[in-house]
């Protein structure tokens, strides 16, 4: 096949993919406009062959990684630490939120072994914490003790304290949680971890690159970042609300001693000294280049503009849900991620039938969740222009479903696939 034929076939393969460019998808993809998309393509294209495994060969990649970590440290509260602590913050790039949470889990396990002599560690986390922590528990032999959330969807600190014991190495909080967009009570979780002498990781993979700007805009007042006492590590995905290409995430550690536990280094083979800060050896350079490029292209003003547009769109959609009979928000979402569905009782609506009707009517795509049955919306800046259209469709299909009482026969809630 010649090059044009290859590309033509790839284009035809995409005909069933969801229309994220038109703002119809509320999951997995974040768009900040055609100018940003063009920049990401150009930046990635400069680094299609380079390998971030060895920054002595490609020092530009080492410099860009350091710059991304430095910028992220400032955004996630590192600059607010006392001067003697600020210089101790260490960070690394990973392939995404899942790897950042895997690293947080493994680092806590190794810390428990080396500092506390714990051979069978556990971590305590809410049922709203990301599924990647269960992957980390499975891979690194750490018991995951999940505790139900409160009525508002936030972590129950008292219940988490009750679940801890002498083998606990890590307490987890989310900022915000993926399922319902709730910022956990991070100061209380940090205080709990400090009181028990264990680590506390804040999963800000979803919110790390929008919450700082929502704070500046006055929309968020809850403390959540590395400046909170007791928080020992935090993660944020640049490829989410940082609007970078997939996949690049950042994990930060409060001090150098803890940060030194993440990299793997060995000379126990015939190939010389091998060092790797992440799970992978060979690492694609394109996402690093694109991440660095978008940070410097958008800058603080650009991210403030995008955060304001995202907040406006999310507020409009949430207001529509609140005002539409039969629909209800799940929990008390703090930011621009939330779950919604049908209200129980007379006049209620089947949640999954609502999702199917929205897909049929306007091509809208929302992930399904359970329990409880919910549709999940990750709102980004690209949704500002279509919020009114979505609301009109939502009101229309809700009315139809209230009248018909239709229920979906497909009750599946698949998010990730194998």
Q: Which helix (H) or strand (E) segment is 10 a member of?
A: helix 3-13
For 51, phi then psi, to 5°, come to -125, 120
Q: What is the pLDDT of residue 348?
A: 81
Tally of domains in the chain? 2
Q: Are 414 and 370 in contact (CB under 8 A)?
A: no
- Pairing mode, if any, of strands 199-203 and 274-276? unpaired
Tell me the per-residue pLDDT of 16-68, one tens digit each, with 9 for 90 and over: 888 888 888 998 899 999 999 999 999 999 999 999 999 999 999 999 999 99
Residues of the chain with pLDDT > 70, as a percent, come to: 100
In a domain, 5, yes or no: no
pLDDT at 416: 72
277 and 334 fall within a common domain: no
Q: What is the mean pLDDT of residues 195-219?
A: 97
- In the numeric block, which tokens belong to residue 354? 């609502």
Query: Are residue 307 and residue 254 in the same domain, yes or no?
Result: no
338 three-state secondary structure? strand
Query: In this prediction, what percent of the chain has a pLDDT beyond 90?
Result: 89
Q: Are residues 203 and 157 in the same domain?
A: yes
**What is the C-alpha separation between 81 and 114, in angstroms, rounded?**
26
User: What pLDDT score does 21 carry?
Assistant: 82
Q: Domain of 369? A: 299-404
Q: Rounded to the nearest 10 degrees, how much is the dihedral formed by the CA atoms of 93, 139, 180, 77? A: -30
- How do beta strands 249-253 and 274-276 pair? unpaired
> Rounded distance, CA 155 to CA 134, Å?
17
Specify whether the CB–CB gap between 179 and 334 falls below 8 A.
no
The answer to whether position 37 is within a domain reads no
Does one domain contain both 131 and 90? Answer: yes
Closest CA to 415 of 358, 342, 344, 339: 339
Query: Are 234 and 205 a contacting pair, CB within 8 Å?
Result: no
Where residue 345 sits, what CATH number does that domain have? 3.90.1150.10
Alpha-carbon separation of residue 5 from 10, 51, 290 (angstroms): 9, 29, 28
Q: Tell me the HSE value of 222 on the side-chain side, using a 13 A CA sphere.
A: 19
Q: Given 295, 314, 336, which residue is the final one in a domain?
A: 295
Name the token pair of 385: 């222009």
Average pLDDT for the chain: 94
Closest C-alpha to 397, from 313, 298, 294, 320? 320
Q: Which residue do the tokens 């260490």 mark?
A: 90
**How far, in Å, CA of 377 to CA of 280, rounded?**
31
Residues 169 and 238 in one domain: yes
**25 secondary structure, DSSP code:** B
pLDDT digits 0-9 by tens, 102-151: 999 999 999 999 999 999 999 999 999 999 999 999 999 999 999 999 99
CB proximity list for 271: less than 8 A, separation 6 or greater: none
* Domain contains 374: yes
**Whole-angstrom distance, CA of residue 250 vs CA of residue 125:** 21
Are 178 and 287 in the same domain? Answer: yes
Residues in the chain: 418
| Torsion angle in degrees (nearest 10) through CA of 119, 96, 190, 308 | -170
Q: Which of 340, 68, 85, 94 is nearest to 203 (CA)?
A: 94
User: Is the previous residue joined to 372 through a cis bond, with omega within 30 degrees of 0?
Assistant: yes
Of 295, 321, 338, the one marking the end of a domain is: 295
Q: Are 26 and 32 in contact (CB under 8 A)?
A: no
Strand-strand pairing, 90-94 and 367-369? unpaired
- Candidates 288, 172, 192; CA nearest to 239 is 288
- Confirm whether 85 is domain-assigned: yes
CATH of the domain at 244: 3.40.640.10
Q: Are residues 171 and 319 in the same domain?
A: no
Among the listed ranges 75-84, 264-273, 346-355, which one has the minimum average pLDDT value?
346-355
Q: Are 227 and 87 within one domain?
A: yes
Residue 306: inside a domain: yes
Same domain, 271 and 336: no
Tell me the CA end-to-end span of the chain in Å, nearest whole number.
30
Q: Are residues 208 and 230 in the same domain?
A: yes
Flag whether pLDDT at 357 surpasses 80. yes
> Is residue 174 assigned to a domain?
yes
On whether both 240 and 350 belong to a single domain, the answer is no
State how far the Cα of 154 lies from the Cα of 342, in Å rounded to an integer.
Answer: 21
Cα distance between residue 173 and residue 203, in whole Å? 6
Per-residue model confidence (pLDDT) at position 207: 97
| Domain finish residue from 280, 295, 310 | 295
Residue 11 inside a domain? The answer is no
415 in a structural domain? no
Q: Are 291 and 349 in a shared domain?
A: no
pLDDT in tens, 262-298: 999 999 999 999 999 999 999 999 999 999 999 999 9
Whether the Cβ atoms of residue 278 and residue 251 lie closer than 8 Å to each other: no
Six token digits for residue 407: 């229920």
């Amino acid at each position: 096949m010649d090059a044009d034929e290859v590309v033509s076939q790839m284009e035809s393969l995409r005909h069933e993919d969801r229309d994220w460019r038109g703002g119809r998808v509320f999951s997995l993809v974040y768009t900040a406009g055609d100018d940003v998309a063009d920049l990401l393509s150009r930046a990635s294209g400069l680094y299609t062959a380079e390998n971030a495994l060895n920054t002595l060969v490609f020092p530009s990649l080492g410099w860009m990684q350091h710059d991304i970590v430095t910028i992220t440290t400032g955004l996630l509260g590192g600059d607010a630490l006392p001067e003697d602590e600020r210089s101790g913050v260490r960070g690394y790039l990973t392939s995404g939120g899942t790897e950042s949470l895997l690293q947080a889990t493994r680092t806590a396990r190794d810390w428990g072994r080396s500092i506390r002599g714990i051979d069978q560690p556990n971590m305590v986390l809410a049922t709203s914490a990301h599924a990647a922590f269960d992957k980390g528990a499975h891979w690194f032999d750490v018991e995951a003790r999940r505790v139900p959330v409160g009525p508002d969807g936030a972590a129950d600190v008292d219940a988490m304290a009750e679940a801890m014991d002498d083998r606990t190495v890590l307490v987890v909080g989310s900022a915000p949680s993926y399922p319902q967009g709730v910022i956990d009570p991070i100061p209380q979780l940090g205080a709990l971890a400090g009181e028990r002498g264990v680590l506390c990781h804040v999963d800000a993979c979803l919110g790390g690159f929008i919450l700082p700007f929502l704070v500046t805009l006055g929309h968020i007042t809850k403390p959540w970042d590395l400046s909170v006492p007791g928080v020992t590590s935090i993660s944020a995905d640049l490829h989410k609300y940082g609007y970078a290409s997939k996949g690049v995430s950042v994990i930060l550690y409060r001090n150098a001693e803890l940060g030194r536990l993440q990299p793997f280094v060995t000379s126990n083979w015939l190939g010389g000294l091998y060092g790797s800060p992440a799970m992978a050896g060979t690492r694609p350079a394109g996402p690093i280049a694109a991440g660095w490029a978008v940070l410097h292209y958008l800058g603080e003003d650009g991210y403030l503009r995008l955060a304001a547009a995202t907040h406006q769109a999310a507020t409009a959609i949430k207001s529509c849900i609140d005002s539409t009979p039969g629909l209800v928000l799940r929990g008390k979402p703090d930011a621009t991620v939330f779950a919604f569905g049908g209200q129980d009782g007379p006049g209620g609506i089947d949640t999954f039938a609502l999702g199917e009707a929205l897909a049929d009517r306007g091509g809208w795509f929302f992930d399904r969740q359970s329990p409880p049955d919910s549709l999940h919306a990750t709102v980004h800046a690209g949704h500002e222009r279509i919020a009114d259209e979505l609301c009109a469709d939502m009101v229309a299909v809700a009315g139809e479903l209230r009248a018909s009482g239709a229920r979906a026969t497909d009750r599946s809630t698949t998010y990730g696939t194998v």
